[in-house]
Amino acid sequence: MLRPPYQRYERLYVYHLDAVKLPPLTDPDLIGNWIEDDTPILFFHRPKEELIKELCRQHGCQVIYQADLDYADWEPGQTIEPFKVDNISVAPVWDAAEADIILDPSVIFGTGFHPSTRLCMETLIKYCRPPGTAPQSMLDLGTGTGLLAITGAHLGINKITTFDNNPLACEVTAKNVALNGYEQEIEINCADLRQEPLETRVDLVVANLHHTLLAGLFASPSFWQAKLYIVAGFNPAMEEQLLAALPPRRVKMIERRRHDRWCLWVLAPLAE
Ligand SMILES: C[S@@+](CC[C@H](N)C(=O)[O-])C[C@H]1O[C@@H](n2cnc3c(N)ncnc32)[C@H](O)[C@@H]1O
């Protein structure tokens, strides 16, 4: 995340280590520690050869992979800049003069520029309109930067729970929730959806997730206790497999949307 004196991201220095767990790091140039398969991927604003050497010496680990790249190449071909979905404006913290939602996108999924996020935002807005008819409670599964949860809060949903298993995503979400003043409305859980018992008795579940995770959730009868589901993160080739994972005669397809090669479904459980 951005911490003073940094106001924006220019270059990323990335070190993927094979250590299982590192203690919290306080380096002033640290962007964050992304945990992938229980291994740390450290992102810095500046090169950190000496620090990494010392960490490896102390913890008996090795660098699996390292890279340095422009921030613009992190999401290739995509400049992170202000954008609008319907009448909601979103802007990165470094360009946030008049926006409804301010975001520190960091290096986390959920800048708002991926077609799957954009589809989720458009659909969330649709199902929260007209004003005053918004769902009251929402689960945001795989929240990334927290953008969808914050959009929900902006639309009037007052009880939102997010989940992500990447501690850096949870840190970034916490920062973005605070930046937008929704600490009362949004609860952040850093947990693995494959292991976490989920309380799905809510008005709306939003899940932009890998198709295998979605299929796992679909297979659990206790997943189907919400009133409405917005699910995304898969492409047309995966639709058949996901359709087969839906519980037979328990769920109705309300709407199917597509943006580029990304699909979104709106689902509602049928009364038993
Ligand atoms: C495709 S991104 C979606 C981010 C954001 N909701 C959006 O729409 O832009 C999926 C997110 O799910 C998280 N995730 C992946 N596997 C997970 C798991 N097993 N448990 C919890 N979160 C997970 C990732 O860390 C990532 O932030």
Q: Does pTM surpass 0.85? A: yes
Q: Which band of pLDDT confidence, cut at 50, 70 and 90, is reported for residue 107? A: very high
- Closest ligand 1 atom to the C-alpha of 121? 8
Which pLDDT does position 154 carry in this prediction?
96
Q: What is the mean pLDDT of residues 258-268?
A: 96
In the chain, ranges of CATH 3.30.70 domains: 11-73
Strand, coil or helix: what is 262? strand
Residue 116 near residue 262, CB atoms below 8 Å: yes
157: nearest Cα among 218, 108, 227? 227
222: nearest Cα among 265, 269, 254? 269
CATH classification (class only), 11-73: alpha beta
Query: Is residue 77 scored above 80 in pLDDT?
Result: no
pLDDT in tens, 121-159: 999 999 998 877 889 999 999 999 999 999 999 999 999
Which pLDDT does position 79 carry in this prediction?
87
Taken in order 54, 59, 64, 69, the sign of the CA dihedral is: negative
Which pLDDT does position 163 carry in this prediction?
98
For the domain 83-269, what is the CATH superfamily, name and number?
Vaccinia Virus protein VP39 (3.40.50.150)
Distance CA 268, CA 225 (A): 9
- Closest ligand 1 atom to the C-alpha of 192? 20
Which pLDDT does position 21 carry in this prediction?
82
Q: What is the mean pLDDT of residues 246-266?
A: 95
In the chain, ranges of CATH 3.40.50.150 domains: 83-269
Query: Is residue 187 scored above 80 in pLDDT?
Result: yes
Taken in order 43, 183, 165, 75, the sign of the CA dihedral is: negative
pLDDT in tens, 15-36: 999 977 888 999 999 999 999 8
Which pLDDT does position 59 carry in this prediction?
92
* Substitution candidate for ligand 1 out of 33, 36, 38, 165 with most atoms within 8 A of CB: 165
Distance CA 204, CA 207 (A): 10
Ramachandran area for residue 249 (φ above 0: left; ψ -120 to 50: alpha; else beta): left
**Which residue owns the Cα nearest ligand 1 atom 12?**
142
Residues lining ligand 1, Cβ inside 6 A:
109-110, 114, 116-117, 120, 142-144, 147-148, 163-166, 169, 192-194, 208-209, 213, 233
**Which residue owns the Cα nearest ligand 1 atom 4?**
144
Q: What is the mean pLDDT of residues 191-204?
A: 93
Write the CB contacts of 56 (distance below 8 Å, at least 6 apart in sequence). 17, 19, 62, 63
DSSP letters, 160-202, are EEEEES-HHHHHHHHHHHHHTT-TTTEEEEE--TTTSPP---S
pLDDT in tens, 215-225: 999 999 999 99
